[in-house]
Amino acid sequence: MSHSPNRRSFLSAALAASLLPGQRASAEENRFQPRIAPVVYRPPGGPRVRLDQVLLSDPSGRIYGDSLAQGALRYREDRLPLTRFVGGVFRPVPRDRIAEAQRVGSVHLSGNTLILRPFSSLVAPGGTPHLVLAHRNLSWEPGALRTMEGGSASAQAAQIGQLYREGDGLLAVLQPLG
């Protein structure tokens, strides 16, 4: 049995049309899916700075850190704060996380290095703090910071944000927050 070209064209068009809305919805959903991306600081009125490294300068003298050169898991945060309505099913947006967190230090920038300066020692010996960075409408999760041998944090660094403790982890908020 042979189908006419018009019927095939109609069936092909109908099939394509039925797939397109799903593809559009999928693209919209993917906009909010986490992906590996560069960690970028955009100061108000200044040039973008791609961050290469993060260091936590503990008052005890220990330095923890990680390379950001390969990027980190990035989340878009310009969405509804659904955690308020549904509980712990959705990832909380940074503003809600700050409301539940305790301010424990400051965040500084020296060149392409982000320096976290806590007011007091935050890490137990042998511990590895988990870090989330938030800036504008994005957040990044570089993960757990590791002990750095022979590292040092520059004394010449401009303060660009605040450091918070939330549960077992740290939240570094770079101003402005979106």
pLDDT in tens, 30-69: 555 788 999 999 998 889 999 999 999 988 888 999 999 9
pTM for this model (two decimals) = 0.74
- Answer yes or no: do 11 and 73 share one domain: no
Q: 3-state DSSP call for residue 153?
A: coil
Report how far residue 133's alpha carbon sits from residue 172's, in angstroms, rounded to the nearest whole number: 5
- Answer yes or no: do 75 and 2 share one domain: no
Q: How many domains does the chain have?
A: 2
pLDDT on residue 178: 66
- Answer yes or no: do 3 and 67 share one domain: no
Strand order across the beta sheet in which 63-67 lies:
35-37, 72-76, 138-144, 130-136, 169-177, 158-166, 102-110, 113-118, 53-57, 63-67, 146-147
